Amino acid sequence: MLRLENISKVYPGVRALDDISIEFQDGEIHGVVGENGAGKSTLVEIVGGTIKPDRGAMELNGSVVAFSEPSEAKAKGIAVVHQHFQSALGLSVTENVLLGSPQLSKGLVNWRDAHKQAEAIFADLGVLIDVRLPMRALKPAQQKFVEIGRAIYGAASVILLDEPTAALDGEDSDRLFAAMRLLSQRGIAVAYVSHRLEEVMTLTDRVSVLRDGHLIGTWPTEELGLDTLITHMVGRELSSFFSDHPEPRPTTVLDVRGATIGDRVHQVDLQVCEGQIVGLAGLLGSGREDLAKAIFGAVRLSEGTIFVDGLQVQLRSPVDAVRAGIAYVPGNRQEEGLVPTMDVGENLTLASLRDLRRHFLVDRAREEETSKSFVERLRIVATSIAQPIETLSGGNQQKVLVARWLATMPRVVILNEPTQGIDVGAKAEIHQLISELAATGLAILILSSDLLELLTMADHILVMNEGRVEASLPRAEATQEKVIEAATGHTAASGASPWATKC
Amino acid sequence: MLKWLKGVVTNREVLLALVLLAVFLGVGIRVPRFVSRGSIINLLFDASTVGIVAIGLTIVIIGGGIDISIGSILVASAIMAGLIAQEDVSPWIAVGTGVAGGAALGAVNAMLITKLKIPPIVATLATLSIFRGVLTELTKSKLIGGLPSSFTAIGKGRVGGVPYPVWIMLGLFVVAALAMRFTGFGRVVYSIGSNEAAARLSGVAVSRYQALTYVISGSLAGLAGVVFVARNGTVLPTSGSGLELLVIAAVVVGGTNIFGGEGSIAGTAVAAVLLQTITSAMVVLGISSAWQGAVIGVTILVGVTIFVFGQRRRERELLA
């Protein structure tokens, strides 16, 4: 049994976990749910020994434990399967399973023995994998199972899975769930971290809900309905936050035809009208992000044409996209958005710098004027435009990135995961901002893993699966179930027929 | 007042300048002639080669790259300029040849790095050997000498008692410092070094700017080569080997983050002079030259450690 007591963790600008106490009991499957940014990942990292909590303690089977490295957690029998793949792709399955175990680092390795052990693990989980194959030869679902195999190799007493089904289809998910049930029957404490609520409802014995770094509560799953779970998660009724932007105008701004990117995206058509918000849903690897980046020139189209305001545009790089009036607010703020060493003003003007230049020099007076006007207009909370960007809260950082693009006077704004990792209050503000932008006549394309966000913001939702548009749903017809079904390729009425959004 | 003082002392460039002053005066107590006008001028004169090359490398490193072929570019340009100067043409043509040659070799680096996407350290490690190897073969390892005095004046002539190379170095320090701070180019280079993906996704023509940094670095190494050959009157294909290490040392001690995005020309300027002062001080103090490398190495470690600690403290302040 693993007990967390009063765990807290603070990052610059965000309280990731605030006084969390949870008990993962032996033999139970314990769901941990929450929106993006609720603190789930921080929790996983603390339990797995990747980061240390600022305050609080962990108790494993009655004795207090503290880890300064993942290997220490693993040695105590705590196994973590991370959301993103963490495997050595060039090594064999067996090597990946034994990665980090003393067997691989002490003296000679008895490979026949090692392969046998790995095979036994997969036989146990009920999956068929050739353990001699290199990891990269495996399908994503198989790779996930190898990571689970690594987690349970040795004597795990607690296993944490962080969004394990993000890259899996329905059938593989079922196989994974069967394996999880098997582990719990053996007395292992299984923690299942996810924002897929249907899965949590059917699979788990108890559920803990996190919101904004706080633990809202822990309940036996059977006492909860899906509606109550959602309310606990988002903290308010779903109906209270529908976007209230006016009806789109009947002018097509962005028109994408037959977009194909290698074997990742196939023949996608997409239109966004003036003042319209189109949502793009899909799982990891659905081609969603590739498509968005291609519309922004950051990924090359192998086939297809893009029109902005009726004129065809050639996008060889984002430089061309900026000229064509297309803006892209990236999904991963830290990796693709912020320039960490610069201040608010410098981050804000990065995309519009060429308009702020006089000869070779940056016109500082105009730069300051631009920055200040956006800080005011988007209600960015900063002491001054000279404040280091890193010291802003996640929500305000996101606003700076949106402002970076508004300063280029775009026609089309693509927002990738616009509210990932920011707290609920800031989220509402960003949603309000997006509605306002739509009202000014911008064409807006939102990519989001947050279904509620898409359902409440978008006039129209496209669902991608395996590089194709699987469903096209006007707001009135879109439901959580339909989107999930299409995203996992299980649409009953899936047709190859072309469709169009109506302006 | 105390806060102001703290601000000054935590400013890296000022801190380095104070260290420089301390070393200088400290040595002066033992050897009074070390603190004379002539000695200072000689110090700067000796620092000018490293100083000029370090300007270009600072820009490359701030932009997230690295160029270790600079020593080879320097000697290649020196030989090109020397060969042209031997023909008794206008010295300006020789200077132009050296700088253009350096720029061309920088462009080769730029192409390998931005077009073929070879990691900068690998690409310039290769060109480091290639440039020098080709030269050795072409010149049959011969010494280039017998240069006309109109050309060698570039390295030896003086204005106000100060040699031209020192003026060139100081002038370039000022121009480069202003350019990095006030031009769009400077801003963009900092952003690329700090977060290349973010810069690219903000519509910055990343490859073009990266390429430009290598061409600038090549040109400055070329100019330094011209000054080098003009000053010494001769150049061998083996001249200036190992120079890149001194130049990188100056950039890093000057506070430029080796991973890019942070740093300043002013820091590099002070650090280049500091390293030369330490080297010269060891000579006048009669310390074995075998120790020089070790002392430079320790200076790098101390300099970078201070930088890392400063950064940690800033992070802690961010959290508070």
pLDDT digits (tens, 9 = 90+) for A249-294: 889 999 999 999 998 999 999 999 999 999 999 887 789 999 999 9
The DSSP line for chain B is: -HHHHHHHHHSHHHHHHHHHHHHHHHHHHH-GGGGSHHHHHHHHHHHHHHHHHHHHHHHHHHTT-----HHHHHHHHHHHHHHHHHTT--HHHHHHHHHHHHHHHHHHHHHHHHTS---HHHHHHHHHHHHHHHHHHHTTTPPB----HHHHHHHH-EETTEEHHHHHHHHHHHHHHHHHHHBHHHHHHHHHHH-HHHHHTTT--HHHHHHHHHHHHHHHHHHHHHHHHHHHS-B-TTTTTTHHHHHHHHHHHTT--TTSS---HHHHHHHHHHHHHHHHHHHHTT--THHHHHHHHHHHHHHHHHHHHHHHHHHHHHH-
Tokens of A36: 């993006």
- A301/A54 Cα distance (integer angstroms): 46
What CATH number matches the domain at A238-325+410-503, 3.40.50.80, 3.40.50.300, 1.10.3720.10, 3.30.420.40?
Answer: 3.40.50.300
Q: Which residue of B has its CA nearest to A9?
A: B319
Whether residue A195 lies within 8 A of chain B, CB to CB, comes out as no
CB contact under 8 A, B191 and A339: yes
Of the partner residues A335, A338, A362, the one whose CB lies closest to the CB of residue B182: A362
H-only helix segments in A265-329: 288-295, 318-323
Reported as a pLDDT band with limits 50, 70 and 90, residue A369 is very high
User: In the sheet where A158-162 sits, what is the strand order?
Assistant: A78-81, A158-162, A189-194, A29-33, A206-211, A214-220
Neighboring chain B residues of A353 at a CB cutoff of 8 Å: 184, 187-188, 204
Chain B residue nearest residue A349, CA to CA: B202
CB contact under 8 A, A319 and B204: yes
Interface probe for A, chosen from B61, B181, B202, B207 (most Cβ of A below 10 Å), is B202
Quickly state the pLDDT bin for A36 (edges 50, 70, 90).
low
Residues of chain B contacting A, Cβ within 8 Å: 179, 182-185, 187-188, 190-191, 194-195, 197-205, 261-262, 318-319
Angle at A235 between CA A229 and CA A241, to 5 degrees: 110
Helix, strand, or coil (residue A132)? coil
Predicted local confidence at residue B136, as pLDDT:
82
- Judged by a CB distance cut-off of 8 A, whether residue A244 touches chain B is no
Supply the pLDDT for residue B239: 86
For B257, the closest chain A residue by CA position comes to: A341
Interface of A with B in 383-412 (CB under 8 A): 388, 390-391, 404, 408
Number of Cβ pairs < 8 A linking chain A and chain B: 84
Round the average pLDDT of chain B to a whole number and report it: 91
Enter the DSSP assignment of A92: B
Report whether A460 contacts A468 (CB < 8 A).
no
With an 8 Å Cβ cutoff, are B203 and A318 in contact?
yes
Taking residue A71's Cβ as centre, other Cβ atoms within 10 Å add up to 12
CATH fold, domain B49-299, is: ABC transporter involved in vitamin B12 uptake, BtuC (1.10.3470)
Q: Is residue B233 over pLDDT 70? A: yes
Return the bridge partners of A172, or none.
none
More confident residue, A168 or B40: B40
Contact A353 B188 (CB under 8 A): yes
Determine the pLDDT at residue A406: 94
Determine which of A25-34, A80-89, A248-257 has the lowest per-residue pLDDT on average: A80-89
Q: Flag if A319 and B203 touch (Cβ within 8 Å).
A: yes
> What's the DSSP call for residue A238?
G
Q: For residue A88, what are the CA distances in angstroms to A85, A413, B198?
A: 9, 37, 27
pLDDT per residue over B263-284, tens digit each? 999 999 999 999 999 999 988 8
Alpha-carbon distance of A491 to A479, in angstroms, equals 13
Select from A228, A231, A272 the least CA-distant residue to A254: A272
Chain B contact present for A476, CB below 8 A: no
CB burial of residue A78 (10 Å; 0-12, 13-18, 19+):
buried
With contact defined as beta carbons under 8 Å apart, do A173 and A318 qualify? no
- Provide the percentage of residues in chain A whose pLDDT is more than 90: 49
Distances (CA, A) of A360 to A179, A357, B188, B197: 62, 6, 12, 24
CATH 3.40.50.300 spans which residues of chain A?
2-235, 238-325+410-503
pLDDT tier, A143 (very low <50, low <70, confident <90, very high otherwise): confident
Nearest to A319 among B194, B205, B262 (CB): B205
Specify whether the backbone of A258 is left (phi greater than 0), alpha (psi in -120 to 50) or beta. left
CB proximity list for A341: less than 8 A, separation 6 or greater? B190, B194, B261, B262
CA-based nearest distance A286→chain B, Å: 21
Indicate yes or no: CB of A391 within 8 angstroms of CB of B183.
no
Is A206 in a helix, a strand, or coil? strand
Neighbours of A382 (CB within 10 A): 22
Q: What element of type H or E holds A478?
A: none
pLDDT tier for residue B231 given thresholds of 50, 70 and 90:
very high
pLDDT for the residue numbered A495: 44
CB A269 within 8 A of CB A500: yes
Q: Which of A146-160, A479-493, B96-110 has the lowest mean pLDDT?
A: A479-493
Confidence of residue A496 (pLDDT cuts 50, 70, 90): very low
Q: Within its chain, how far is the Cα of B218 from the centroid?
A: 11
The CA radius of gyration of chain B, in Å to the nearest whole number, is 20
pLDDT of residue A498: 46
Q: How high is the pLDDT of residue A309?
A: 94
Cα→Cα distances A227→A30, A33, A35, A233, A407, Å: 19, 14, 15, 10, 40
Nearest to B200 among A318, A338, A391 (CB): A318
User: Under a CB-based contact definition with an 8 Å cutoff, are residues A484 and A451 in contact?
Assistant: yes
Stretch among A429-438, B78-87, B150-159, B295-304 having the lowest mean pLDDT: B295-304
Q: Give the pLDDT mean for A144-166.
A: 84
A335, A340, A391 member nearest B194 (Cβ): A340
Taking 80 as the threshold, does the pLDDT of residue B187 lie above it? yes
CB contacts, 8 Å: B319 with chain A: 10-12
- Sign of the dihedral defined by the CA atoms of residues A225, A230, A231, A232, in that order: positive
Using the structure block, give the residue that is written with the tokens 């940014």.
A37
**B2: pLDDT strictly greater than 70:** no
CB contact under 8 A, A360 and B200: no
A330 CB neighbours in chain B (<8 A) are 197-198, 201
Chain A residue with minimum CA distance to B192: A339
Q: What is the pLDDT of residues A4-15, one digit of tens each?
A: 999 999 876 677
- Asked if A411 and A325 touch (Cβ cutoff 8 Å), the reply is yes
Q: Is A339–B194 a contact, with Cβ atoms under 8 angstroms apart?
A: yes
Mutation target among B175, B182, B190, B201 for the A interface, most CBs of A within 10 A: B201
Angstroms from B248 CA to nearest CA on chain A: 22
- The whole-number pLDDT of residue A494 equals 44
Are B203 and A408 inside 8 Å of each other by CB? yes
CB A30 within 8 A of CB A206: yes
Give alpha helix (H) positions in A66-169.
Answer: 70-75, 93-98, 102-105, 111-125, 140-152
**CB of B51 within 8 A of CB of B273?**
yes
Mean pLDDT, rounded, of chain A? 87
CATH of domain A2-235: 3.40.50.300
